[in-house]
Amino acid sequence: MAQYIRRRRKIINVATQSQIFVETFAQVLIFFILTTFITYLRPFTGIFSSHSALEHETAFETFLSMNLSKWPLFVVIVSFLVILNILFSHRIAGPIYKIKMVINAYKAKDFRPRMTLRKTDYFKGIIPVINDMRNSLSHDIESLKIETMRAQTLLQQGAEQKRLKKSLDSIAEILEQYQLQSQDTMPSFSREQLAKASFRQTQRPDDEAQDLDDSEEPDELKGEKSN
């Protein structure tokens, strides 16, 4: 059984959350640079402002020298952005982590976990999709278990072919609902073939023993019987 692990950490996937931070920081930096160039430098200053380009360049130099002396403040701002990004990226990486854990549990044939997300998580629309898939598979597996046990009981009781075929038809109806990619490479069996195979297993033991005795007779005795 796959072990279900509850998500508690804020840093779930370092690579994914780091990538989100880098991309977010790059977007903020590009926005800041573009805003600075458009606001203070030529040729935009002469188009959108009544002040001269020289006044804008002087203001830009003053703005740059004043803010470069405040580099500790920018370190604090970047640290604050890192914390905000962790909280934000957790709402994306967290659901991906949870989906992976639930699917791995299903792959390990453990259908106990249900898909749940936190209130602040994204991708909540995936919850009913995965849970409906789980419910459908669980229902089909339970139905297959019941029909298989019924078929085994009928085989042990030496039931007639009609009753056994009805049970096999129920199993076939469930399996026919699934479209497998490997369908072309795997042998397919019709309901008639399944019924014939099961009918062979329901033959009487004395008939099988008789067939075995006939096959073990010497050729001389078989010739005398034919004469």
CA of 3: how far to CAs of 93, 104, 135, in Å? Answer: 20, 10, 19
pLDDT for 144 equals: 86
The pLDDT tens digits of the residues spanning 27-55 come to 988 998 888 777 777 776 767 677 777 88
* Cα distance between residue 92 and residue 95, in whole Å: 6
Tokens for 194? 């399944």
pLDDT for 192 equals: 56
SS3 187: coil
| Pair 117, 129: CB distance under 8 Å | no
pLDDT band, residue 130 (cuts 50/70/90): very high
Q: Where are the domains of the chain?
A: 14-113, 125-179+188-202
Helix 191-201, helix 161-175: angle, nearest 10: 140
Amino acid identity of 4? Y
The pLDDT tens digits of the residues spanning 153-195 come to 877 777 667 777 777 888 888 877 776 655 455 455 555 555 5
* Cα distance between residue 107 and residue 119, in whole Å: 27
Mean local confidence (pLDDT), 185-208: 51
pLDDT for 187 equals: 52
pLDDT band, residue 211 (cuts 50/70/90): very low
* Cα distance between residue 16 and residue 89, in whole Å: 8
Candidates 72, 69, 88; CA nearest to 25 is: 88
The pLDDT tens digits of the residues spanning 66-97 come to 888 888 888 898 899 889 988 889 899 989 99
| Pair 122, 95: CB distance under 8 Å | yes
Flag the least confident range among 122-131, 188-197, 218-227: 218-227
Mean local confidence (pLDDT), 10-15: 83
Per DSSP (E only), the strands in 22-181 are: none
